[in-house]
Structure 1
Amino acid sequence: MNMNDTPKTEILTLEELRQQKAEALEELRAQKQAMADTARNLFAPIAPAANKGTAIMRAFNTGMAVFDGVMLGMKLMRKARKIFRR
């Protein structure tokens, strides 16, 4: 390997490094805040139902989601048992 083959690096001053660090920290804080907001929205309690029809549909949807999750879990367990029996 020749000395001419090495890539030339840019020389950074301490002030430039401090500025880059400050920008990176600011970006990190903004991302952390965005993640916290998203998590808060995901786990926020749902609003009460406006009428009886909405309440029934919400209960039905919740029940179907639980049923679907149980069925998926049972199918995965059967597949895992078949794989490990061999």
Structure 2
Amino acid sequence: MAANKIPSHQTEDVLQEIRTRKAEVKSQIKESADFIKTTTHKLFTPPPQATSKLGSFMNMVDQGLAVYDGVMMGMRVARNIRRIFGKRR
């Protein structure tokens, strides 16, 4: 059986291309991870404390809307689960 003989300079070129591509992919992964980290940090940090009465009122309204939205989403999820698995009586 004839052995596949590849010249060594071609092998080194291919290996170098693989190394550079690997470094590029690693940097892209790091950028994506940093973006995800900052986005989740922005989403889950509490809002800044209000210094005026209007600001604190707006914070209360915002929290009330968030609670309402959460309850409505929960009701939709529960309704869909009941639809999938059927009502138990």
TM-score normalised by length of structure 2? 0.65
Question: Who is 1:49 aligned against?
Answer: 50
| SS at 1:49 equivalent | coil
Q: Give distance in 2, aligned partners of 1:27 and 1:62.
A: 36
Q: State the Cα RMSD in Å.
A: 2.5
Partner of 2:6: none
Moved more, 51-60 or 66-75: 66-75
Cα offset, 1:37, TM superposition? 1.2
Question: Secondary structure of the residue that 1:47 maps to in structure 2?
Answer: coil
Structure 1: gaps of 5 or more residues: 1-10
Residue number in structure 1 paired with 2:65: 64
Deviates more, 1:65-74 or 1:32-41: 65-74
Q: Shift of the alpha carbon at 1:32?
A: 0.9
Q: Secondary structure at the match of 1:50?
A: coil
Give the distance between the partners of 2:45 and 2:81, measured in 1 at CA: 35
> Alpha-carbon deviation of 1:34?
1.2
Cα separation, partners in 2 of 1:46 and 1:29, compared to 1, 3 Å: same
Query: Which residue number in structure 1 is paired with residue 74 of structure 2?
Result: 73
Higher relative contact order (CA 8 A, sep 6+): 2
Deviation at 1:30, TM superposition (A): 1.2
Q: Which residue of 2 aligns with 1:31?
A: 32
> Cα distance, 1:78 vs. partner?
4.4
Q: List alignment gaps of at least 5 residues for structure 2.
A: 1-10
Q: Cα distance, 1:72 vs. partner?
A: 4.1
